[in-house]
Amino acid sequence: HSYLTYKYNALTFLPLNLFEQLKRAANCYFLALLILQVIPDISTLPWYTTLIPLVVVLGITAIKDLVDDLARHRMDKEINNRKCDVLSGGSFQESKWRHIQVGDVIRLRKNDFVPADVLLLSSSNPNSLCYVETAELDGETNLKFKMGLRVTDERLQEERQLAEFDGETLIECEEPNNRLDKFTGTMLWKGERYPLELDNMLLRGCKVRNTEVCHGLVIFAGADTKIMRNGGKTRFKRTKIDELMNYMVYTIFLLLILISAGLAIGHSYWYDDIGSKAWYLYDGKNQDASLRGFLSFWGYIIILNTMVPISLYVSVEVIRLGQSKFINWDLQMYFAEKDTPAKARTTTLNEQLGQIQYIFSDKTGTLTQNVMQFKKCTIAGRCFWSDHGEFHRSAASPDEGALVTAARNFGYVFLSRTQDTISIREMEQENTYEMLALLDFNSDRKRMSIILRFPDGRIRLYCKGADTVIYERLSPNSRYKESTQTALDVFANETLRTLCLCYKDISTDEYEAWSRRHKEAQVALVDRDGALDRVYEQIENNLLLIGATAIEDKLQDGVPETIAKLAKADIKIWVLTGDKKETAENIGYSCSLLTDDMHIHYELWTHTHLERGGAYGAVLPQIDFVDMACECEAVICCRVTPKQKANVVSLVKKYKKAVTLSIGDGANDVNMIKTADIGVGISGQEGMQAVMSSDYAFAQFRYLQRLLLVHGRWSYIRMCKFLRFFFFKNFAFTLVHFWYSFFNGYSSQVSDMFITLYNLCYSSLPILLVGLLDQDVNDRLSLKFPKLYLPGQQGLLFNYKNFFISLFHGIFVSLIIFFIPYGAFLQTMGQDGEAPSDYQSFAVVTASSLIFVVNLQISLDTSYWTFVSCFAVLGSIAIYFGIMFDIHSAGIHVLLPSVFTFTGAASNALRQPYLWLTIILTVGVSLLPVICIQFLHKTIYPSVGDKVQRNRKKYEMELEQDEKKKPSAFQRGGRSRRSAYAFSHSRGYADLIASGRKRLAISGVRGHTASV
């Protein structure tokens, strides 16, 4: 019965983690490069120059993955070691959850979590009622009613009775599945068969409430439980930029092979024509031109590997780690009320937050607080309102809790309830009513009725439900129809959840005749649900209207503003909920997902369409569903199971190739969270299942706008700018070797010292700080102008076009850096009458020009300057000159004469003014075209970001003025719309919700043209 969510164990960690890391093309490339470098005949650089960085990269990533997985291990261990009483040897013994097996009889106490899917046998409450909280399953904190069979309630209260039961019972039931709303089975006991339904089951993840003790039989354990079946697989998530970088590595590798092959061929011809005939070039190796060309090919593969240096991946990991810390440290995403900070639970997906196209959100506990308040009512044509009534009671739904609490405030106090009676204190007088029948709610009936026998013997039916179905069943003589309708319209315009109330007095003869038909329907073997509905219809007619109630379902703070901001950023928001259509649509209006100027389009889809592609396995219905829904500005999916939530996300990913984000707070959202490209968990009162499966977690939905529009956008811009510049600076550096090869006999010989230090010291810090700190506009302006988010969605800042621009920019700069100094050295004369035309002086001038160009180029690309940025640029240049003068000094030559042979070359070269002029000319020619292009582009074709930067001070003043006047969350008084009452969606202790076939209703907004 072990609960396992971790990815690795002690044996599989190293091989499995290495396998996952070697899926990254660059890591395979560097491993192959390392193998080449240990072959003496072709090695042009020491093998440790690749081994050390490769081990560091693989090690850092492995440690990060290990830390993440250890957290999963700790969580699994905590859950698996929870204690539970298990019947063993005729008495209950304390046992750990991981030792529980199917067929065990267990004892649960108040506030215990249910460890498995358990058949409820008996409880300490009358009639074996058991109250459970299902927050871990569906995110709802309201209580659900469960009930043991009457026969087990009467005969299985003592340990001795339970021990006998354990050995003489046969349970036949459905196969393990993920349907949280359904269970079918039979119990064979002492020759009798008893039907088992969902209302007899306590599912794993529920919490026992208001019940001192209960006993149950384990039906499903471990991975077979319904909550685990809904969990989905833990997927290895990668960003779009990661995938793109893989393809770019393939492109660079192909380019590298072509360049190396061309230079190797050149070396073969050169050696055949020149090298073999020059006695002073004889190296003692008797190798022909072809073999030398072959070895030169591999030598160039090693030299030119700096086009994709391993330091790129080290830097990417550092930047991602820093961006994750910024999210964790953001005080504006800290929820002080519950001391909950934002938490980046992964460090590999930050830039993907800047590319989200679709958000899939749960409703209860994610958009709403799941807190109901009774606000208004109309009774006998008169309106009343209340400022009291926040939900604090245990009830089957938050709405019912709000109504019961409001009744208490008006002097009608609910005292107790058994299977057959209800006790109420009415204005200090206590009365007990006999409950004769409960005609429960289902999504087709949209109403619920109860038949009571009053203390004086009268029989009365009370009915509550949606106004559309209640008005159809009213007696022609019923009063207050018009006044109640007017009040309903007012309540609906205020986005309150409305419920109509009515009653009917029933004679004893009429009730007894109807009761016989009701009992026949209850035991029907075929179409029991349909038979019950038909019997209910016979009694629910000629009703007399009492009035209507209006309840406010409180949204979380800032939800409407957040949804409006995200919509302006062209992010499509879909709400996926298990609620009925009317409830979900009402919340859509409350949170500004739906507005009055939108037209609503309704579509009905069964789970078969989503999971199997429609009738006969056709794929077309799935495409139709995605195409239709994606045309809408907003989509609400109703009556969906956790599995269907994940299927909806998968379909959009599959057919639209879109970047998706799922956000939820309950265990029913885990599969959806794992399926999306980004999973966000709301850490609240609904448990931690969603958070533990998420990539990012925070306490309130409103923080999502800051996560995406600020942190996500900044992370994307920073990473794109970092990658563009990194490719440019390494193309510019590496291709200088290419041009040099035409003048050195294609010998693949270079200075390994500069190659090693270039990416380590001379150019790494400025671009690393850009990747960590750069921002085009501040956070307040990022939120004020959501359109700034669009470039990330469209992938405009890093793609193959940007890659080739960086490539050609690098080619251009490498040409300038090589050939301008080459021309200057061709015919020169120093001021001392000597021409410094040696290769080392030429290398000093070329290298100095390169360092100035790359550091000044990143300065031009930096949007946000700080002291640290300035220090990094100047410091990198200073480090270069310091190291260069050191390696050309007499002191280091004395220490290592065989390694540092060019004593005084740097100081001699840089003493010549015309070489400084050469450096200045090279830097100027390299940078001037870039400056001109950037100026023209920002002047003629300014982006939204350019315009915001240009008017930054003006917009910041507007923000200060806006803060003084805070607009309301949403406008009331729009067109009339009916807000429906949200009944409990679980089956109570009577005949519970007859849900029939599970359906998916789509409520979408399709611009201004839609049909119903």
Per-residue model confidence (pLDDT) at position 398: 60
C-beta neighbour count of 691 within 10 angstroms: 25
Q: pLDDT (tens digit, 9 = 90+) per residue, 11-33?
A: 888 888 888 888 777 788 788 88
Query: Any binding-site annotation on 69?
Result: no
pLDDT in tens, 122-134: 998 877 888 888 7
Q: Judge whether 497 is annotated as a binding position.
A: yes
Q: How far apart are CA 823 and CA 534, in angstroms?
A: 98
Tokens read off for 941: 């074709």
What residues have CB less than 8 Å from 932, skipping those under 6 apart? none
pLDDT above 70 (res 479):
yes
* Of 801, 662, 806, residue with least CA distance to 733: 806
Q: Which of 397, 405, 416 is nearest to 141 (CA)?
A: 397
**DSSP letters for 927-994:** HHHHHHHHHHHHHHS--HHHHHHHTHHHHHHHHHHHHHS---SS----S--PPPP----S--SSS---
| More confidently predicted of 540 and 468 | 540
Instruction: Return the structure tokens found at 33.
Output: 């490069």
Segment 56-68 mean pLDDT: 81
pLDDT tens column, 100-119: 888 889 999 988 889 899 99
Q: Six-digit token pair at 189?
A: 């006991």
Confidence bin at 878 (pLDDT 50/70/90):
very high
* Tokens at 426, concatenated: 């009415």
Q: Categorize the per-residue pLDDT at 968 as very low, low, confident or very high, splitting at 50, 70 and 90.
A: very low
b/e burial code for range 802-828 (CB count within 10 A of at least 16 → b): bbeebbebbbbbbbbbbebbbebbeeb
For the segment(s) 101-220, the CATH number from 2.40.50, 3.30.160, 2.70.150, 2.60.40 is 2.70.150
> Which candidate, 75, 77, 8, 61, places its Cα nearest to that of 692?
75
Measured distance CA(136)–CA(667) in Å, rounded: 5
Q: Residues 30-43: what's their mean pLDDT? A: 80
Cβ proximity of 667 and 5 under 8 Å? no
pLDDT tens per residue, range 887-907 = 888 778 788 777 777 777 888
Least confident of 380-394, 605-619, 719-733, 827-841: 605-619
The percentage of the chain sitting over the pLDDT mark of 90, rounded to a whole number, equals 26
Q: State the Cα angle at 674 between 669 and 675, rounded to 5°.
A: 100
The Cβ of residue 611 has, within 10 Å, a number of other Cβ atoms equal to: 14
Q: 210-214, 644-648, 835-839, 844-848 — which is least confidently predicted? A: 835-839
For 627, the token pair is: 């195409």
- Extract the tokens encoding 267: 């070396």
Q: Is the pLDDT of residue 615 over 50?
A: no
Which listed residue (362, 399, 440, 467) is catalytic? 362
**What values do phi and psi take at 554, rounded to 5?**
-70, 125
- List pLDDT tens digits, range 632-659: 888 888 877 777 888 899 999 988 899 9
pLDDT of 721 reads 95
| Mean pLDDT of the 412-438 span | 83
Q: How confident is the model at residue 233 (pLDDT cuts 50, 70, 90)?
A: low
| pLDDT for residue 228 is more than 90 | no
User: What is the full DSSP assignment across 519-575?
Assistant: HHHHT-SSSHHHHHHHHHHHHS-SBEEEEEEEEEEEEPTTHHHHHHHHHHTT-EEEE
The reply, when asked if residue 233 is annotated as ligand binding, is no
Residue partners of 641: CB distance under 8 A and separation at least 6: 178, 179, 180, 181, 230, 578, 607, 998
- The answer to whether the annotation marks 306 as part of a ligand binding site is no
**Type of residue numbered 993:** I
* Phi and psi torsions of 168, nearest 5°: -125, 25
Q: Residues 688, 690, 693, CA angle at the centre, nearest 5°?
A: 105
The token pair at 301 is: 């593969």
- Binned at pLDDT 50, 70 and 90, residue 851 comes out as very high
Please give the Cα distance from 469 to 446 (Å, whole number): 7
Residue-level pLDDT at 1009: 27
- Cα–Cα separations (whole angstroms), residue 987 to 182, 402, 439, 442, 993: 10, 19, 12, 9, 5
DSSP string, 721-763: HHHHHHHHHHHHHHHHHHHHHTTTTT-----HHHHHHIIIIIS
Q: Which residue has the tokens 């970047």?
A: 659
Lowest-pLDDT range of 606-620, 848-862, 901-915, 997-1011: 997-1011
pLDDT band at 1001 (very low <50, low <70, confident <90, very high): very low
Using DSSP, state whether 359 is helix, strand or coil: strand
Does 572 belong to an annotated binding site? no
Annotated binding residue 441: yes
Q: Is 577 annotated as a binding residue?
A: yes
Q: Can 101-220 and 327-367+558-708 be said to share one CATH topology?
A: no
Model confidence at 78: pLDDT above 90:
no
pLDDT tens-digit map of 269-321: 888 888 777 777 777 777 788 888 888 888 888 888 788 777 787 888 889 98
- The continuous run of DSSP H or E covering 658 comes out as none
End-to-end CA distance of the chain: 48
Q: Give which of 196, 203, 197 is closest to 180, Cα–Cα.
A: 203
b/e code 134-144 from CB counts within 10 Å (16+ = b): bbbbbbbbbbb
432 labelled as ligand-binding? Answer: no
The SS3 of residue 450 is strand
Fold assignment, 369-554:
Calcium-transporting ATPase, cytoplasmic domain N (3.40.1110)
677 is in an annotated binding site: no
The rounded distance, in Å, linking the Cα atoms of 853 and 842 is 17
Q: pLDDT of 708-744, one tens digit each?
A: 999 999 999 999 999 999 999 999 999 998 998 888 8
Is 364 labelled a binding residue? yes
327-367+558-708: CATH number:
3.40.50.1000
Distance CA 839, CA 901 (A): 13
pLDDT at 815 over 90: yes
* pLDDT over 50 at 998, yes or no: no
10 Å Cβ neighbour count for 428? 7
Structure tokens at 329: 């440290």
C-alpha–C-alpha distance, residues 188 and 149, integer Å: 13
What pLDDT is attached to residue 750?
64
- Report the pLDDT value the prediction gives residue 36, as an integer from 0 to 100: 82
Per-residue pLDDT at 107: 92
pLDDT for res 566: 93
Higher local confidence (pLDDT), 53 or 152: 152
Instruction: Decide if pLDDT at 1012 tops 60.
Output: no
Angle between helices 839-861 and 867-887 (to 10 degrees): 170
pLDDT at 384: 81
CB of 521 within 8 A of CB of 531?
yes
Q: What is the structure's pLDDT at 992?
A: 31
**550-578 confidence digits (pLDDT tens):** 887 778 888 989 999 999 999 999 998 87
Range of weakest confidence among 60-69, 437-446, 878-887, 990-999: 990-999
Specify the DSSP element, H or E, that contains 268.
Answer: helix 240-273
Indicate if the pLDDT at residue 977 is higher than 60: no
pTM flag (> 0.85)? no
Q: Which contiguous run of DSSP H or E holds residue 872?
A: helix 867-887
Side chain identity at residue 57, one-letter code: V
Lateral strand order in the sheet of 143-147: 143-147, 129-133, 207-209
Averaged pLDDT, 834-861: 87
Burial-class residue 470 by CB neighbours within 10 Å (0-12, 13-18, 19+). buried
Q: What is the pLDDT of residue 375?
A: 82
Q: How far is CA 429 from CA 414, 424, 426, 435, 459, in A?
A: 12, 8, 5, 19, 20
Q: At a CB cut-off of 8 Å and minimum separation 6, what does 127 contact?
A: 147, 150, 153, 418, 419, 989
Q: Which residues neighbour 608 within 8 Å (Cβ) at sequence distance 6 or greater?
A: 614, 615
Q: What's the whole-number average pLDDT of the chain?
A: 81
Q: How much is the average pLDDT of 402-408? A: 76
To the question of whether residue 579 is assigned a binding role by annotation, the answer is: yes
Q: Dihedral through CA 536, CA 538, CA 539, CA 543, nearest 10?
A: 110
**Whether 362 is catalytic:** yes
| Domain residue ranges in the chain | 101-220, 327-367+558-708, 369-554
Residue 850: predicted pLDDT: 95
- pLDDT tens per residue, range 340-374: 899 998 888 999 999 999 999 987 778 877 677 78
Do 45 and 752 touch, CB atoms closer than 8 A?
yes
C-alpha span between 600 and 788 (Å, rounded): 29
pLDDT at 980: 47
The more confident residue out of 138 and 590 is 590
